[in-house]
Structure 1
Amino acid sequence: MRNPSRLARRSSRLHHAMWLSLAVASLSLPALAADGATSVRLPDTSRFPESVTADANGTLFVSSIADGGVLKVGADGAVVSQFLKPGDHGTRSTFGLLADPKRGVLWVASNDATPLGAKGPTSTEGAWVKAFDVATGAMKTSVRLPGAKALANDFALDGDGSLYVTNTFAPQILRLKPTATEFEVFVEDSVLSKGLDGIAFGADGNLYVNTFMGGELFRIEVKQGMAGKVTQLETSRPLKFPDGLRPFKDGFLMVEGSGALSRITVSHNSAKIELLQQFAGPTGVTVAGDRIWVSEGQLGLMSKPAEAGREGPSFHLRSVDVR
């Protein structure tokens, strides 16, 4: 068994390091997306969006670290409504989102993000993953992540419907099988200790993840439903606070907190990072129809106190054409 006191010290250091990383990111926020990109301004009750996902109809869903809840945005980008009200069903700060078209549900990560400077709308402890019926909003599943210190960050689904979750506060990827009521540890490796974040399956059937603080990209071999070798990929340029990761054509789309939306192409143990667009502190990415949508979370600004008489930051979804 792992030493509990040692684990607590490591978790405390990780919380502190993430806070510092977010503060650094706020010092050099890039320019907004180029003129002509479709954008949606989010209401002031949904600050610091963390993730965005789209269902089969192109409807967008957006989470909020600061305020919780999940916004629903029409396929035309013009209609904004509340899919999940802040605090409903015991939710707190909302992180990763993933639409699951086979089951007709939306997966939502809910966390106590107090160590990151976000108290959220409730006092619910721990990290939770919940599934809500897309049509009715009814909660279908609610499962807590194991361990005293955990943070459910982002999701991926395999062909059998199993859900994979990155645990940012531990070097773990957890799996929830379709009929399971508890998570199992799919992989746990100390090389993944620098803030697991984005996760996605590649066309090769393997799992890919990044680390927010480490600026790393990993491939985890998957054979017959079992995790194999963990390999760090050599990237064509350094990554700065990599976050949302999604499958795209023969590779992936990824955003970085420092501003970049990039296309990733993997060859053997190397990854080519091709810049597509710059945004303001992007946190999540999804594809809906012929548009790539990005949530501008600007998470670094959470650590900056509001100045009297100065208007707070605004938050947007912005999009560019699929290329």
Structure 2
Amino acid sequence: MNRTLLQTTTLILIAASPILAAPAQAQSLIQLPTGFQYPNGITHSRDPIRLRSAASTLYVGSVTSGQILRITLNGKTETFFPGTDEIFAATSLRLDEQRGVLWGASPDFLGVRGADGQVTRRPHRIFAIDIRTAKVLQVIAMPAGGFSNDIALDENGGVYVTDSSRPRIHYLAPGTTQFRVWAEDEQFRSRQIGLGGIARAANGVLIVGMFSDGKLLKITPQAQGNPKVEAIPLPRSLENPDGMQFAPDGSLLITEGAVSSGNGRLLRIRNILDTKTPKEIETLASGLESPVNLTIAGQTIWITESRIRHRLLPGKEAAVPNTFFVRRFAL
């Protein structure tokens, strides 16, 4: 299907079905190059002179490849980073624009199937790339065989990493090469996939999602001792909460991957830092195909729809989609 036909078909589907709940509006699709599959990590840079509040460039990584695309909003798409033996996935991307460093998570989510049919997984890690030269600055393995899922940055250049297999949030301090356990709590533990998405508020509070259990947790730093972990009261369990970011108004935007139902959503929760009252969950968009991550610039949201659900369903593994894309919404 060519690009024009794909976009036309998408607009018809949007008009014909209740995919959106105000105030989000579908704007456009960015079709990704042939051969680039299962997009996941996404972040953006700004032009500090002309576009102070809007994104000028997107960076998009893959679940199954270390390749990272650079997409300028005038329509040019190129390979920013081809991937290496050490960087074999880019499931989360966050840009430290002040220091010119692109951080990413590289877990071996699906593993490598050998000739004997057995699946092996390479050690999970995170990486740092110089945004100007595409030179790899660091590749750091997760401690104790942990699963690097999502990352968040602080204003000093520190990196928080959620661990999906151990009940921990790790922290990499600026200028260091070794993680320390920033928070460890039994509320992070799951029988399936544990901690997933992570977002950091301006006051240093973190919100994290439990991917399989459908919960959101608030983690508040303490002057002394371990951070305080609180469950956020929700009217329902979320169906695989994944990527999340704070919007300019302080609300939290979340992708709901929906492995079981297939009805992926973009959600908004206001006043998320107040854990005393139950939260209303607003559905801004539905009918998305395995939405996994997002980035926000001003009132614009870009979402990666990985379209990877078929790889998680027995007997459907060979049904690879023909096209992959990034979807753009406006609040």
TM-score, normalisation: structure 1: 0.80
Matched AA of 2:268: R
Please report how far the alpha carbon of residue 273 of structure 1 lies from its aligned counterpart in structure 2 after TM superposition.
1.9
Write the distance in 2 (CA, Å) between the matches of 1:165 and 1:291.
25
3-state SS of 2:311 partner: helix
Please, what is the CA RMSD of the aligned residues?
Answer: 2.5
CA contact (8 A) 2:230 2:275 kept: no
- Mapping 1:1-323, distance limit 5 Å: 37-57=27-47, 58=55, 59-76=57-74, 78-86=75-83, 88=84, 90-115=86-111, 125-148=122-145, 150-194=146-190, 195-224=194-223, 227-248=226-247, 249-258=249-258, 259-265=264-270, 266=272, 267-269=274-276, 270-278=278-286, 279-303=288-312, 304-306=316-318, 312-321=321-330, 323=331
Please report how far the alpha carbon of residue 193 of structure 1 lies from its aligned counterpart in structure 2 after TM superposition.
1.8
Matched AA of 1:52: I
Write the distance in 1 (CA, Å) between the matches of 2:215 and 2:80.
33
Choose 196-205 or 164-173, whichever is displaced more.
196-205
CA contact (8 A) 2:110 2:121 kept: no
Go from structure 1 to structure 2 and tell me whether the alpha carbon gap of 1:44 and 1:32 turns closer, same or farther (over 3 Å shift). Answer: farther
Please report how far the alpha carbon of residue 156 of structure 1 lies from its aligned counterpart in structure 2 after TM superposition.
0.9
Go from structure 1 to structure 2 and tell me whether the alpha carbon gap of 1:163 and 1:60 turns closer, same or farther (over 3 Å shift). Answer: same
3-state SS of 2:95 partner: strand
- Give CA deviations for 1:163-183 in whole Å, capped at 9, x if unaligned: 100011111100000021100
TM-score, normalisation: structure 2: 0.78
Please report how far the alpha carbon of residue 246 of structure 1 lies from its aligned counterpart in structure 2 after TM superposition.
0.8
CA contact (8 A) 1:220 1:227 kept: no
Higher helix proportion (structure 1 or 2)? 1
Go from structure 1 to structure 2 and tell me whether the alpha carbon gap of 1:72 and 1:117 turns closer, same or farther (over 3 Å shift). Answer: farther
Unaligned runs of 5+ in 2: 1-16, 48-54, 115-119, 259-263
- Give CA deviations for 1:221-277 in whole Å, capped at 9, x if unaligned: 113486422111111333101000111121211101121111122233443321111
CA contact (8 A) 1:73 1:81 kept: yes
Structure number with higher relative contact order (C-alpha < 8 Å, ≥ 6 residues apart): 1
Go from structure 1 to structure 2 and tell me whether the alpha carbon gap of 1:225 and 1:131 turns closer, same or farther (over 3 Å shift). Answer: farther
Write the distance in 2 (CA, Å) between the matches of 1:225 and 1:250.
27
Unaligned runs of 5+ in 1: 1-30
Write the distance in 2 (CA, Å) between the matches of 1:240 and 1:114.
20
CA contact (8 A) 1:92 1:124 kept: no
Go from structure 1 to structure 2 and tell me whether the alpha carbon gap of 1:159 and 1:196 turns closer, same or farther (over 3 Å shift). Answer: same
